[in-house]
Amino acid sequence: MTIVKTKLDRRSFIRSSVLAGGGMLLGFSWLASSCSTNTPKELSMPDEWFEINGFLKIGENGLVTIMSPNPEIGQNVKTSMPMIVAEELDVDWKNVIVEQAPLNTDIFTRQLAGGSQSIRQSWPALRMAGATAREMLRQAAAQKWNVPIEEVSTGAGVLVHRNSNKKIGYGEVASAAAGLPVPEEVELKEINDFSIIGTSRKNVDGFKIVTGQPLFGLDYKKEGMLIAMVAHPPAFGMKLKSFDATDAKAMPGIKDVFVVKTYNDDYELQWSDTTSFNELVAVVGNTTWEVMTAKLMLNVEWEPISDSNRMNVPSGLESTADHIKKMTEAGAKTGSEVRRDGDPEVAFKNAAKIVEQIYTAPFQAHNTMEPMNFFADVKEDEAVLAGPIQTPEFMEKTLAARLGLPLEKIDVQMTRMGGGFGRRLYGHFMVEAAVISQKVKAPVKLVYSREDDMTYGVYRPAYHALYRAALDADNNLIGFHVRMGGIPSSPLHANRFPAGAVDNYLAESWSIDTNISTGAFRAPGSNFNAVAEQSFLDEVAEAAGKDPIQFRLDLLKSAQENPVGERNDYDAARYAGVLEQVREKSGWESGASDKNRGVAAYFCHNSYVANVVDIEMKDGRPVIQKVYASTDCGIVVNPDAAVNMIEGSIVDGIGHAMYSGLTFNEGQPEQENFDSYRLIRHAESPKEIEVHFVKNEIDPTGLGEPPYPPVMGALANALYKATGERYYHQPFVKNTFEA
Amino acid sequence: MAVFNLNINGKQQQVDVDPSTPMLWVLRDHLNLVGTKFGCGVAQCGACTILLDGMAVRSCITFVDSVGDKKITTIEGLSENGDHPLQQAWLEHDVPQCGYCQAGQIMNAAGLLIANPHPSDEDIETAMHGNLCRCGTYTRIKAAIKTASSS
Ligand code: FES
Ligand code: FES
């Protein structure tokens, strides 16, 4: 039996009085019809809802509404988070409907989509919320029957008095339960007793998605709403000089054209704010097409920024050729030392064999399928914003500062997002929408075209890595050296494998400044480290004459038994676990194989993933026949959804390593839509993906990012088998086969 | 501005718009049918796919004055109760991640199945080539199309 303190102080748990009839549909009047997000229920909507705590309310007929606290970007938390509450509440999933919770940091912790942390960090709170409500319902039943609470048990939304076998539905005591004090401690279910967690439940928004109902920010509408678009400088390192709005203003349907200043001069930037383009020209009108057309008629002059601009953005118009040159130079020099074990210099001096390689990766645009957009309705004393944002909590603060309104007067509503991948951590578009709405004194939806979206990105940085390995005469790995850097940040994770497995280890880091805006991109840093490190280890294993899986397992064994250093941030046994599982499931044979297969494993964002990729060459092009994945993310909350996430990450990883990159000429992105920026398409994705999980009872970790990086390494290693060439520079397609 | 009489999802609808307006924006902004999505505007992503007399077309480059009396079907009108075999198969395979591309994928698949009720894997890959899914749900999309085509 697991008893936990509820830890939910009264302030953090909304004490609910019994709510008046008609339910409380929070915010989102446009979504009111769609509050019942699941497929049709047996129970109809109740006449009254009783809010037991901020996470859930129960109708008099037993229907339960569970709030999904975090932003939904396709990682399926809108289904899996409520599943956890429902499990501890002990209700039948078919009687649960899910609503997107409002932004309310008094009740919910960390309402953010990022770092693959939604499930991991909310796991205790979600369980507690369900268990607390269940306890209060038991209490209410006990009082009603005048029996001790210990004699009242629950099952699928029904309270049972064990001795008399009296039964009553949750709905019938919900009103009484809502008035009870919050218990100090509650009992959690044993993992063995889970009946919802660990079973596959369909996406709660699935029906709405396949029938095209409004769900996304871009679908948001309000009476009297205007459409706005913004023009930003054509190149990084440029700013607005002047503009002539006459032609644009004369276009049909256009209301106004003016300059938007995203952040004021005295505003102190937070990490989720961007600085590249602070002055934009806004075009506001009635309909999207009218505004798009009028935007083309803008006559704007741009000029290079100076060195002393207040955002501290370096001046200059940067090109990819310069980036490569600068990274090559930086990679050839000693970087700043981040970790040292033993005496790497001596190890390399004494080595019988040294393997040394350089790896690079380009800037990449996030390219969420739904371009950036946001709705804003800013009035003198309050503001309502709605749309796709991964960091509502941060942006609410930014907005309060920018609009000069108190925090509680800003209402941020979260819509389903057409992808995030990190791009929507940076909500400058929310501020732009708000400033435009404030200026035109009307509700406004700001819309980015695909070109706007791709050329005003917050891109994945460009990366560069030098790897060196020292082998002794018996082919033991005696020294390891990694020197990593990027524009503008280094992806190095110095304490990750193979740190801890090698006696003599050196990790260095460097970075180069830029005026190109960059930020987190699915599995930041790891999305490069995994491919570079895992291709390199493959090459080292080959040089040592060892099977690539066994080579890694031997290193992991030594990291487990005799770890070098104390800061190693991975669990070597779990790491080895996924490699062993993928070896078994893929029928991996050491030595010669008639398949062109590559392997890789990586740990990031608290989960472990290993892949085997099988490639066949057809007409000189690689066809990915099959990908195996083994994952250890602890308890799997919603297995089929987890499989979907892993399959998607595999396709995404292969796509980005193989095809995607953004290049610059004089500060200007050279790709601006999907005709020039290559994303993976149907025929290029694997013919088959087979997903396995390592089963254990460890609290769940994340899945949005961990399955993304390793497959790129496995791909590079399989490509080597298929073509006889190593793939050091992304996108791989540039190396040999042109697409 | 000009008035156009359009046949959309079996209903006659009238809009007064500039003749160069793409159907995408006529649907989304003027008729409140927002299931058809904007992804690229240049026929490169397929998010905006609709049927024109049963043929899948990109509504972002289909101008309203080119439609005439052809029948337009959008995701909202693919079936009355959301039970088109493709919609059912999509739910069965729990295809969507973010979901944004899926209406376009389903409409493109609907066009495929009208032209070729029993497509091979290769037929599916060729027909679906123009539909991007940034979340990478391609394997499930293919499985769902196969399920729908065998039902
Ligand atoms: S929006 Fe029409 S194809 Fe992309
Ligand atoms: S499901 Fe997200 S783009 Fe396809």
A386, A518: one domain: no
Instruction: Please report the pLDDT score of residue A51 as a whole number.
Output: 87
List pLDDT tens digits, range A616-657.
Answer: 999 989 999 999 999 999 999 999 999 999 999 999 999 999
Q: How would residue A41 be classed by pLDDT, with cut points 50, 70 and 90? A: low
Q: Inform me whether the C-beta atom of residue A187 falls under 8 Å from chain B C-beta atoms.
A: no
Instruction: Report the residue of B135, B142, B145, B146 to disrupt the A interface, i.e. the one with the largest count of A CBs within 10 Å.
Output: B135
A582, A504: one domain: yes
Q: Which of A179, A181, A141, A143 is nearest to A157 (CA)?
A: A141
List pLDDT tens digits, range A211-260.
Answer: 999 999 999 999 999 999 999 999 999 999 999 999 999 999 999 999 99
A151, A195: one domain: yes
CATH number at residue A656: 3.30.365.10
With CB atoms and an 8 Å threshold, state whether A211 touches B35.
yes
Ligand nearest to the CA of B133: 2
Residues 13-72 of B with CB under 8 A from A: 17-18, 20-22, 25, 28-30, 32-42, 44-45, 47
Instruction: Please report the pLDDT score of residue A121 as a whole number.
Output: 81
List pLDDT tens digits, range A657-676.
Answer: 999 999 999 999 999 999 99
CA distance to partner chain A, nearest, from residue B74 (Å): 9
Indicate whether residue B52 lines ligand 2 (CB < 6 A). no
A531, A639: one domain: yes
Q: Give chain B's radius of gyration (CA, Å).
A: 15
A contacts of B30 (beta carbons < 8 Å): 287
> Under a CB-based contact definition with an 8 Å cutoff, are residues A177 and A52 in contact?
yes
CATH 1.10.150.120 range(s) for chain B read 85-149
A115, A173: one domain: yes
Domain count, chain A: 3
Q: Is the pLDDT assigned to residue B126 strictly greater than 90?
A: yes
A658, A703: one domain: yes
CATH class of the region B2-76 = alpha beta
Q: Is the pLDDT assigned to residue A739 strictly greater than 80?
A: no
Q: Which of A377, A382, A373, A426 is nearest to A400 (CA)?
A: A382
Coil, helix or strand at residue A27: coil
B contacts of A77 (beta carbons < 8 Å): none
Query: What mean pLDDT do residues B15-33 have?
Result: 97
A176, A227: one domain: no
Q: Which residues contact A250 (CB under 8 A, 6 or more apart)?
A: A297
Q: Which atom of ligand 1 is nearest to the CA of B61?
A: 2
Q: How would residue A470 be classed by pLDDT, with cut points 50, 70 and 90? A: very high
Instruction: Please report the pLDDT score of residue A264 as a whole number.
Output: 86
Which of A106-110, A394-398, A436-440 has the least mean pLDDT? A106-110
Q: Which of A709, A555, A567 is nearest to A631 (CA)?
A: A709
Whole-number Å distance between alpha carbons of A160 and A148: 12
List pLDDT tens digits, range A363-385.
Answer: 999 999 999 999 999 999 999 99
Region B85-149: CATH code: 1.10.150.120
Instruction: Report the residue of B100, B105, B129 to disrupt the A interface, i.e. the one with the largest count of A CBs within 10 Å.
Output: B100
A505, A481: one domain: yes
Instruction: Please report the pLDDT score of residue A737 as a whole number.
Output: 46
CB-defined contacts A:B, below 8 A: 187
Q: Is the pLDDT assigned to residue A279 strictly greater than 90?
A: yes
- In a domain, residue A415? The reply is yes
What percentage of chain A exceeds 70 in pLDDT? 94
Query: What mean pLDDT do residues A534-561 have?
Result: 97
Instruction: Please report the pLDDT score of residue A310 as a whole number.
Output: 64
For A4, the enclosing helix (H) or strand (E) is strand A2-5
CA distance to partner chain A, nearest, from residue B88 (Å): 9
Q: Which atom of ligand 1 is nearest to the CA of B58?
A: 2
With CB atoms and an 8 Å threshold, state whether B98 touches A369.
yes
From A447, A471, A502, the end of a domain falls on A447
Instruction: Please report the pLDDT score of residue A8 as a whole number.
Output: 53
- Ligand 2: which residue has its CA nearest to atom 4? B133
With CB atoms and an 8 Å threshold, state whether B136 touches A647.
yes
Whole-number Å distance between alpha carbons of A221 and A201: 30
Query: What mean pLDDT do residues B6-16 have?
Result: 97
CATH 3.10.20.30 range(s) for chain B read 2-76
* Assembly ipTM: 0.98
What percentage of chain B exceeds 70 in pLDDT? 100
A51, A110: one domain: yes
Could you tell me the two tokens for A522? 């699915």
Indicate whether residue B100 lines ligand 2 (CB < 6 A). yes
Q: To test the ligand 2 pocket, which listed residue (B48, B93, B134, B142) has its Cβ within 8 A of the most ligand atoms?
A: B134
Q: Is the pLDDT assigned to residue A355 strictly greater than 50?
A: yes
B contacts of A688 (beta carbons < 8 Å): 139
With CB atoms and an 8 Å threshold, state whether A210 touches B96.
yes
- In a domain, residue A546? The reply is yes
Q: Where are the beta strands (DSSP E) in A326-399?
A: 336-341, 353-361, 373-378, 383-387
A contacts of B25 (beta carbons < 8 Å): 287-289
Indicate whether residue B96 lines ligand 2 (CB < 6 A). yes
Could you tell me the two tokens for A411? 């209402």
Tell me how far CA of residue A14 lies from CA of A177, A178, A409, A609, in angstroms: 14, 11, 19, 39
Half-sphere exposure at residue A724, Cβ-oriented, CA atoms within 13 angstroms: 1
Average pLDDT, chain A: 90
Q: Which residues contact A356 (CB under 8 A, 6 or more apart)?
A: A466, A467, A468, A469
What is the reported pTM?
0.94
Q: Inform me whether the C-beta atom of residue A290 falls under 8 Å from chain B C-beta atoms.
A: yes
> Which residues have C-beta atoms less than 6 Å from ligand 1?
B 38-41, 43-48, 58, 60
Q: Is the pLDDT assigned to residue B123 strictly greater than 70?
A: yes
- In a domain, residue A452? The reply is no
A290, A189: one domain: no
Query: What mean pLDDT do residues A677-695 have?
Result: 97
Q: If you ran DSSP here, which 8-state letter would residue A230 be given?
A: E
Domain residue limits at A557:
325-363+459-734
Q: How would residue A577 be classed by pLDDT, with cut points 50, 70 and 90? A: very high
List pLDDT tens digits, range A292-338.
Answer: 999 999 999 999 998 766 667 889 999 999 999 999 999 999 999 99
Whole-number Å distance between alpha carbons of A15 and A191: 29
What percentage of chain A exceeds 90 in pLDDT? 73
Q: Which of A128, A91, A94 is nearest to A108 (CA)?
A: A128
A648 CA to centre of ligand 2 in angstroms: 9
A152, A248: one domain: no
Which of A16-25, A711-720, B55-64 has the least mean pLDDT? A16-25
From A414, A447, A480, the end of a domain falls on A447
Q: What is the dihedral of CA A240, A245, A249, A255, to 10 degrees?
A: 40
List pLDDT tens digits, range A471-482.
Answer: 999 999 999 999
Picking from B28, B38, B136, the nearest residue to A648 by CB comes out as B136
B contacts of A681 (beta carbons < 8 Å): 129, 132, 138
B contacts of A368 (beta carbons < 8 Å): 98, 100, 134
Query: Do the strands B55-58 and B49-52 form a parallel or antiparallel pair, or are they unpaired?
Result: antiparallel
From A190, A210, A230, the end of a domain falls on A210
A152, A45: one domain: yes
Q: How would residue A592 be classed by pLDDT, with cut points 50, 70 and 90? A: low
